[in-house]
Structure 1
Amino acid sequence: MRRLTTLFPSEFLEEHAEELGVVERNRKTQMPALVWSFVFGFAAGESRTLAGFRRSYNATADETLSPGGFHQRLTPAFAEYLCDLVEHGIDEVAVPDAVGVDIDRFRDVMVADGTVLRLHRLLSDEFEPRRGEQGGARLHLLHNVTDQTIDRFNVTDEKAHDSTEFSTGSWLEDRLVLFDQAYFKYRRFALIDENDGYFVSRLKPNANPEITAELREWRGDAIPLEGDQIQDVVDDLYREYLDVEVEATFQRREYAGTQSYDTKTFRVVGVRDEDADDYHLYITNLPREEFLPADLATIYRCRWEVELLFRELKTQYNLDEFDTSKTYIV
């Protein structure tokens, strides 16, 4: 149990659930209790019924769920969330830094992410929490995976979104940045490309750009994709990889009181997960000539480095234990 909770801290389980949209921020589901009810429900070898899992959840959660309330939480998004946790666990017990892709061509590989730190309840005005009375600070990091350093960091209240703390600019030249869905913005991706930088991000489920070209030819009766929107066709595909060019429309930053629209071409790659019978979709500006779809999936695994860093800061250096009510100390 201790090894599992070290591998999957409660903060990580809650934050990753929010990133995937598994639960709304104002709902009372306790993700750690829900996850462990399924993990240990299967491991115990007992009768694996929904009623049994609900009893396990209610035995540890602060607020119990009715049968209907429990069933409502068993969504496809929750299934994807559990699959992600399994992949994360496999990555951790395997060799996490065994990336067989040439990443030396980049000046640095960077990961942007954030984590929540629980604070004294007397700090709830200065560091407003999303829910409850206990104060919460959000630590925003830009982690340099290449040098194993922290390039930038900022501390805000818990309500501040990670995405607002990432700034583009000339510093991005020849650097590769890995994002989770919290940072997904076409305008941000366009600015990275315009500053001669590179990025890889998971494609958000509600992002549905139009396919303008296929970057890989398929023999036989393959479904033609050009002109379709990617989310409209992905469920009908069975090929091992998806590799297409897409066009996205987005708003530029307001200038002189005028807000203009622009379009940009990106690359979307899908790597099929046979167990889940779907695709892991990524959006990037990395060229196909140098990086095949499987390479992108391998590169994206580097993003777990920042999760390891957060875990180390909290478990070994007690970063999550602020026994103070003084703002300046935080």
Structure 2
Amino acid sequence: GSDRSLQAFLDRYVEMADCDELSYAAFHDWFEPGFVALLREILDDAIENLDTGRADLNGRLERFRDVLIADATIVSLYQDAADIYTATGDHQAELKLHLTESLSTGLPTRFRTTDGTTHERSQLPTGEWVADALILLDLGFYDFWLFDRIDQNGGWFVSRVKDNANFEIVEELRTWRGNSIPLEGESLQAVLE
């Protein structure tokens, strides 16, 4: 792992902020024992008050072990960080937070930060953790290989689809009353028109 010493933190801060005038003594003074104790107390309180209990999934969701929501968001940073956190635009810096959250606990199950140009799909590995879970995916995760891997590992998924998607409807899961039309064998675009 990376060096987590106070000096290493100062070095990273100076590098990111491009402020080589900050002395170790001045930086070190920020971390007086009283301030460090307060930070630890705040962190301990936050961890203690986390509700890690699971809420039971009800109704149609009962069949799943969990419902997991995967998404990413971009945080704009100071331009000085552009060497480390590249962005999609020129002379910008962006950090992208990739997060998977559990619906039953309300807590993240996995997260990662990258630069702003990293694609969401590359940050969602598949494996046994998807078994018996329903994964909700945004368009950034639209990838048939990913869908296949979720299925192969015993998971389920719901994804937004691209505007030009034209799937063949292979089965109707419900019989509708009234003057309904059969959809089996039709293409999605033909039905939507």
AA at the equivalent of 1:163 = R
Q: CA deviation at 1:122?
A: 1.5
Per the alignment, residue 102 of structure 2 pairs with: 144
Gaps of 5+ in 2: 1-54
Per the alignment, residue 193 of structure 1 pairs with: 151
Per the alignment, residue 186 of structure 2 pairs with: 228
Q: 2:63, 2:184 → 1: CA distance?
A: 31
If the length of structure 2 is used for normalisation, what is the TM-score? 0.63
1:228-247 to 2 correspondences below 5 Å: 228-235=186-193
Counterpart pick for 1:124 among 82, 88, 96: 82
Q: 2:167, 2:65 → 1: CA distance?
A: 30
Residues 1:144 and 1:100: Cα distance change in structure 2 (over 3 Å): closer
Q: CA deviation at 1:102?
A: 4.4
The answer to whether structure 1 residue 110 and structure 2 residue 68 are counterparts is yes
Q: CA deviation at 1:166?
A: 0.6
Q: 1:200, 1:155 → 2: CA distance?
A: 24
SS of aligned partner of 1:163: helix
Per the alignment, residue 49 of structure 2 pairs with: none
1:1-330 to 2 correspondences below 5 Å: 101-218=59-176, 222-235=180-193
Residues 1:225 and 1:133: Cα distance change in structure 2 (over 3 Å): same
SS of aligned partner of 1:214: coil
AA at the equivalent of 1:124 = A
Residues 1:106 and 1:226: Cα distance change in structure 2 (over 3 Å): closer
Q: CA deviation at 1:221?
A: 5.0
Greater radius of gyration (CA): 2
Sequence identity of aligned pairs in percent? 39
Q: 2:85, 2:167 → 1: CA distance?
A: 37
Q: 2:174, 2:88 → 1: CA distance?
A: 45
How many residue pairs were aligned?
Answer: 138
If the length of structure 1 is used for normalisation, what is the TM-score? 0.39
AA at the equivalent of 1:144 = S
Gaps of 5+ in 1: 1-96, 236-330
